Amino acid sequence: MKFFTYILLFVLPFTTFAYEPTQTHASLTDQVVEFYNIKSVKKISSTDKELIINGAVDEDNPASRALNHFYDPVRNIGIEGGRTAKDWATIDTVANDYSWKKTIVAYARGDMQTAFAGLGHILHLVEDMGVPDHTRNDQHLPFLDQNMGGHSPYEDWGMKNKNRQTMQGFALELAESGVTPKLFPNVGEYFDFLASYSNKSFFSRDTIYSEDIYQEPKILKYSEGYGYGTDKILDEQVVLVKKSENQGVIVDVLSDSDDSSILSSYFSRLSRQIIPSGAGVIELFFNEGEKARVLYNAELLKRQQADAQANAEIAQSISQKGFIGLVWSGAVFIVQDNLLSPFKRYVLRPIGSGLAFAGSFVTQEGTVAVNIGQFATVATAGAVKDTAVAGGNYVARKAGEGLTIIQQTATDLLNTPVNPQSQMLGPTFAVSDSISPQPQTVFIFEPKVQAGTNAPKLVFVGAFVGGATSQVLGSQTSTSGVEEIIVVEEAIEATGAALAAPALSAPQCAQTLATDGCLLATTTVRFEWPAVEGADHYLINKNGEFATTTDSSHDITIKDFSDYTFEVVAIDSEGNPSATSTQAVSVATIPIAINEIAWMGTVASPNDEWFEIKNNTSRTIDLSQWELNAKDGTPHVKLAGTIKPHEYLIFERTDNSVVKDVEAHATTTGALNNSGEQLTLSHDAVVFDQTPDGEWVAGATSTRQTMERYSSREPGTDPENWSTNLGDTRTQQERYDCYRKLDKQFKDTRECFTKGFIKNGTDADGNAIGGTPGAQNSISTLVNKGQNITEDFTLTADEEVYVIPDGGNVYVDASSTLTIEPGVTISFYGGQWDEKQIIIEGTLDAKGTSENPIVFNSFFPNNQIGGIHFSAGASTSTMSYVRMESTNGIMLTDGAKLSIQDSQFVDNYSGVESDGKNTVTIENTNFKNTEEEPVWAYNGGFVSIASSTIIDTIDGAAIDVSDGVTLNVGSTIIDGAYDWANAGIEAYGSNVSITNSTIRNTIAEGVSAYSSNVLIASSTVSDTMENGMYLYNSSSTIINSTIEDVVGWSGVSAEGGTILIASSTIKNVLNDGIGLYDSISTISNTVIKDGTGDGIEVQGGTATITNATVSGFAGSGILTSSFVEDVFTDDGSYSGLWTIVTSTVESIVITGGEVAGNAVGVDVSSADSAIISDVYIHDNGTSEADNIVGYP
C-alpha cells in the first residue's frame, strides 16, 4: 500500500573536520595570539591577528586538505599510513601552499600578509595535534560510514561549545596562573610534543579498545562508573571513560546523551597545552623569519648589483635621448628581453651618461614578463607610501596592469585634482626627447582597477636632470576618488663619486692548466683584492654563501672536481655598493688521467698496443707541458696539442692503424712490458697520475681484453681502481653454440648474448677490440664496481652512462643512501621483464634539475625491462626531475616511503606499484604510454597524486587501488585509458578523494568503486565509453563536479551503498543521467540534462532529491522502477517470462527544483512512499498527464 505526504526537506551541508574551523579553530587561534601578546614584548596587531585566524580557518579548504591533518607518533603515520600532518607542514611540497618553509620565505620577502596567513595554517595543524582522533589514526571524515569512523564526539562537542565568545579570557587565565610559552628549536617538535601528549593521555571514540596498537593510556581504576588514568604531563589523575549500557552490553564511552563531562575535561587539559605551544610557534615564526630576511636581503643586494651592471650598457646606448626617451627606450628593450630591469626592485635616476640606483627598494618581490608597451614591477602604492623613496623618478605599477602617463607642471598637479578622462593611455608622447628642467615633468602611474574599487595612484614629479632628493608631500584625492601619493623630485646636480669595483684576483690562477679560464689542481685557493678607497666593508659571495667582511683576502677550500665562483662588492658607510667583481675557478686534483691500457695488444697483433687518457674537467687543457713515461723509460711520450672537456684521447704504438675506426691523437714508439709497467703522467715535472707499480693488475693476454679504470677521479695507484674490460670476444658462432647447449639443459640462456655490452672500435684486421678506445670504459658503467652498496654512495655525472647488466642487480642496504647527481643516466641491460634491478632497502636521493634530469632507461630501446624496488627504509626516498623511459617502473613493499616530484614516466611497462602499507607522494609528474597501470596500490598504504597528468594508459586503470589503500588525487588530469575492463580510477575496498581533477577519454568508466569510500569534489569526468562513474556498495560524495559526454550508459550509476550528489552537473549522456539501484541517495542543487534514457532512475532503496533541475531526456525526468530479469527453463532456454528481482522504491522525496522538457516528467509508480513538494514540473511529453505519473 502506498502513502503520500507533503513535507519540506532541507539537505544538510557538507561539513568537516578536526576542530571545526570557523568555531573551534578560530577560537583556539584567537587565544594563541592573545596569549603570545600577553607574554611577549613584540605584539601582533588586531589586523594581523585576523590574518592569522583566517589562515587557520582556510587550512580546511578545500576539504581534501584534511587528509593531511593526522599524525600518529607511535607509528609515525598519517591517516591509514598516509602523509603525516608534521610532514605536510614541514616538507615543502607543491600541494601545500602554506608549508613552514614557504611561510618563512614569505616573511623574508616582506610579504607579511602571506606570512601571517601561512602561520595560521601551521597553527591549525598544531592545534589538530591536540585532537586524539588525529593522533590515534581514528578516521572521522563525514563521507565515511559509521563503521569506518563517522563523526568524532570530541570534535562535535568542541564545535557546539567552543567559539571566540565562549573562550574569551582563557589566555589571560593561563598567563595569570604562571603558564609560559613552550619553546622548541624547530616547528616539528611542536607536532611531536602535542601528538605524543594527546595520543598517550587520551582516547578517541574508536580506539578505547585498541590495546594491540596503543599501549597508552591505561585505565588504572574505575570509580562510580568512571574510568581513570594519568595525565602524562601533569602526572595527575584524569577521567578517561564512562561505563555505559549499549543494547544490554556495558561498554566504555567518552560521552552519552546526558553526560559530556569527559569531553569537557579533555578539552580543558588539551587546550592548556595547545595555546602555549601555539605561542611558541609564533615566537619561532618571528625568530626564523628575521634570520631568513637577513639572508634574503644579502642575496637580493647581490642580484641588484648584477642588475645595475647590466643596466650600464643600456644607459650608455640611450643616454642622449633625454628622460622620456630613457624611460621608454629602456622599458621596451628590457621587456622584450624579459629582464624587467631597471624597474625591477629599485628606483633609478639618470646621472650623466649612465644610470645609478637610488638605494631605496620599492619592493622585494619578483617580477613577471608582460607585453611590450607596459611597465612591470609588483610595487603597490601602499608599499611606496611606507618607503623612504629616494631619487624617485618613477615607479611602475603591478605587473600586467595598464600604464597612464601625463605631463603637467608641479603647480598644476598639486593645485588641481587630476581628471582621469584627460590622461593619455599607454606609451604615447607628444613631446621632444630633450626635456628642460622646468617646468617639472609629472608621471602618473595608475593601476587598472575594477569599477568601484579605490586603488591608490602613484604620482611622481621631477625634473630628472641628475642626482636628486625626493620628498613625499602626502596624498590627495582626485576627482575620481582615487588616492594619489605625491612624490616631488628637486632638480639638483649630482655630487660625490661611486665606489670603485674591487680588483679581485686569485693569484694561483697565473698557473692555470686550462687554455681558457682558471683551472687549478689544488683544493685550497686564495682570493684577494686591494682595499677600495671609501669602502666601509665588503659583501662576498662564496659560491652562493653570502657574508660580510672587512678583510681583503680569503682562503677557500673548494670541493675537488668542481667549479667555484667568488664575488665581492665594496660597500660604503651609507650602504652604497660598488659594481660586483667576479673570479671563477675550476678545481681538479687529477685534471688528466691514464684511463685505459692495451698492454697486451689486439687480436690482430700483440704489438698493436695503445693507451688512453681522459680529461676530468670542464675546461680545455693545453698538453704542451705534459709527459707520459714508463718506469723503465719506454715508452716516453711528450704530449702536444689540447684535450677538450671530458674528452678521451688514444695513443697508438708505431702507426695509426692499431685501432682502425678511432683516430689516434698521436703515435708512440717503444713496447709496454707484458710482465708489468708503471706509467706516470706529469705536468712540468709535477706528477698528477700513476698506475700501480709492478705487474699489470688487470687485462687479459689470451682474449686481448684491456686494463680499464673504474674511476678516473680516484687514485690510479690503487689496484682496486682497475679491472679487465667486460667485452665478449666470442664469435657469433660461439654465441649460438652456447645458446644451444644451455637451451637443451633447460638453463637460462641470457649469458650467451648479454656479455660485452660496452665496447668500441676494431683492430687492424677488423676484429672487435676487447676495450673501449676513445669512449667510456666498460667497467666504469658499473654502479659501485658492481658491488652492493653498504655505505653512503654517490653516482656522479662524470660518467656518460651507468649500466646494470643481467644478473648485476644493485642493492642498497638499510643503513645506506644512494645519491644520484643531476645529469646521470642509468640503463638496464638484460634482466627478466618483471625484474627490478635496483633494490633500495635504505634511501634513494635522486634529485635532478630541469636542465639536467636523471634518466633511467632500457639499454635497448622499448625493451621495458629493469626498474627500482623500494623495500622498507626509515627515511623517505626522493626522486625529482627524473625521467623513466622503457623500463618496468617502480615497486614498493614493506612500508617504504617515496616522494616523486617534477618527473616523467614514458613508455614503461608499469609505473608505480605499491604492495602493503607504503607511502607514495607524486607531484607535478607525468605518465605517458604506460602498458599497465601507471599507479597501482594494494594491501593498505597511502598514495597522494597532485598536479600531475596520466595520459594514454594502454592496459589497465590509470590509477588502481584496492584492499585498504587511502588515495588522494588533486589537480590531476587523466586522459586516455584504453582497457575495456578498467576505469580511469578504480578502487576496491579503499578510501578515495579526488579534487580539482579531470578524467576523460576512457574506454570503461571514468571512476569505478567497489565497497569503497569516495569523495569527488570540483572535478570533471567526460568522454567515457561506459558509465561516467560506477559505484558499487560504496559510500560516495560528489560535490561541485561535472560529468558529461558519456558515450556508454549512465552519468552516475550506483548499486547499493550511500551516495550524495550536490552542486554538480551531469549532461549529455547516452542513457540515464543518474541510475540508483538499492542505494540510499541524496541529490541536491544539481543539473541533470540531455540523454536518451531517464534523468534520474531509482530502483529500490530510498532517494531524496532537492532543488534539482532535470531536462532533455527521452524517458522520464525522474523515474522509480523495479528491476526485472528474464526467466529461463530447466533446459536453459528462454521462457518468454520475466520476474521482479528488486522490490519497489521504499521512499522518494522530491523537493524544489524543476523537471521540464522530458518525455515524462516524474513517474513514482513504483514507489511505496512518495513526497513531491514545491517542484516546478512542466512541458513534459505531449499532455499535462505526462508531467506527473503515479502520484495523487
List the domain boundaries for the chain.
21-291, 505-585, 598-724
C-alpha 871/C-alpha 77 separation (Å) is: 17
First to last CA, the chain: 14
C-alpha 1136/C-alpha 369 separation (Å) is: 73
| pLDDT the model gives residue 244 | 77
Please check whether residue 992 is in contact with residue 1012, taking contact to mean a CB–CB distance below 8 angstroms.
yes
DSSP character string of 563-621: EEEEEEEEE-TTS-B---EEEEEEE-SSSEEEEEEETT--SS-TT--EEEEEE-SSS-E
C-alpha 606/C-alpha 653 separation (Å) is: 11
Please check whether residue 1086 is in contact with residue 1052, taking contact to mean a CB–CB distance below 8 angstroms.
no
DSSP character string of 395-439: ---STT---EE----HHHHHHS---GGGPEESS---S-S---SSS
Taking CA atoms, 574 is separated from 226, 294, 499, 1000, in Å, by: 72, 18, 11, 62
Q: Provide the CATH topology of domain 505-585.
A: Immunoglobulin-like (2.60.40)
Could you tell me whether strands 524-528 and 553-557 are parallel, antiparallel, or unpaired per DSSP bridges?
A: antiparallel
The region, left, alpha or beta by phi > 0 then psi within -120 to 50, assigned to residue 929 is left
C-alpha 544/C-alpha 559 separation (Å) is: 14
C-alpha 341/C-alpha 356 separation (Å) is: 12
Residue 783 grid cell? 654502479
Phi, psi of 515 (to 5 degrees): -75, -20
Predicted TM-score of the model (pTM): 0.62
**Size of the chain in residues:** 1192
C-alpha 1142/C-alpha 1123 separation (Å) is: 5
C-alpha 581/C-alpha 393 separation (Å) is: 28
Please check whether residue 362 is in contact with residue 382, taking contact to mean a CB–CB distance below 8 angstroms.
no
C-alpha 264/C-alpha 933 separation (Å) is: 49
Torsion of CA 305, 311, 312, 314, to 10 degrees: 170
| pLDDT the model gives residue 347 | 30
One fold for 21-291 and 598-724: no
C-alpha 196/C-alpha 73 separation (Å) is: 6
| pLDDT the model gives residue 410 | 28
C-alpha 406/C-alpha 460 separation (Å) is: 10
| pLDDT the model gives residue 420 | 26
- Please name which of 840, 905, 312, 260 lies closest in space to residue 579, comparing C-alpha atoms: 312
- Please name which of 401, 389, 321, 335 lies closest in space to residue 360, comparing C-alpha atoms: 389
- Please name which of 853, 846, 797, 796 lies closest in space to residue 817, comparing C-alpha atoms: 846
C-alpha 144/C-alpha 313 separation (Å) is: 65
Indicate the class that CATH gives domain 598-724.
mainly beta
The region, left, alpha or beta by phi > 0 then psi within -120 to 50, assigned to residue 95 is alpha
524: which strand partners? 557
Rounded mean pLDDT for each run of 10 residues along the chain, 1192 residues in total: 31 41 81 91 87 89 79 86 86 79 89 93 93 83 45 79 82 87 91 92 83 85 86 86 70 75 87 93 91 78 62 43 30 27 29 26 26 24 27 30 29 29 24 28 34 36 32 36 34 51 95 95 96 92 86 94 93 84 96 96 94 96 95 92 96 91 90 93 95 95 93 96 82 66 67 58 88 92 90 90 82 94 89 75 94 90 82 86 94 94 94 94 95 95 94 93 94 88 92 93 94 93 94 93 92 95 95 95 96 95 95 96 62 54 76 96 92 95 94 82
C-alpha 808/C-alpha 856 separation (Å) is: 16
| pLDDT the model gives residue 1128 | 56
C-alpha 71/C-alpha 194 separation (Å) is: 10
683: which strand partners? 626, 686
Residue type, 138: D
Task: Supply the DSSP symbol for 343.
Answer: S
Cβ-based burial of 484 (10 A; exposed 0-12, middle 13-18, buried ≥19): buried
C-alpha 981/C-alpha 970 separation (Å) is: 24
Residue 915 grid cell? 604492495
Supply the CATH classification number for the domain 21-291: 1.10.575.10
In sequence order, the 6+-apart residues with CB closer than 8 A to the CB of 306 are 580
